[in-house]
Amino acid sequence: MALAFVCLTGVIAVNFMPRMKEYRAVDVEARRLEAERAVLRMEKERLESEPDPLASREYVELKARDQLGYYRPGEVVFQFLEEGAAVPVRTP
């Protein structure tokens, strides 16, 4: 009877141990993902609380001027060149 109990306990332990390791690994991964989710949620809230720069007409105009070289009709644009730089010449 005792031998049967020991054998049964051994069989259960052999079947249970790999699953316990797998459970621990899954639990660790779940905790890591929950922590990452919390960080991402905070980042999302921070971004949503900031004003949208593209909604501002001034921001869009500033980017158009700085990056695309746009200007308003009738505006005089001054360009400062570095010393020794080639000066563009417009021909009529």
- Single pTM value for the model: 0.45
Q: Map out the domains of the chain as residue ranges.
A: 2-68
- Residue 56 to residue 92: CA distance in whole angstroms: 38
pLDDT digits (tens, 9 = 90+) for 39-65: 999 999 998 888 777 778 888 888 888
| H or E element at residue 87 | none
Q: Is residue 27 over pLDDT 90?
A: yes
Please give the pLDDT value at position 33: 97
Q: Write the single-letter amino acid at 30.
A: A
Length of the chain: 92
Per-residue CA distances from 71 to 13, 53, 74 (Å) = 78, 20, 9
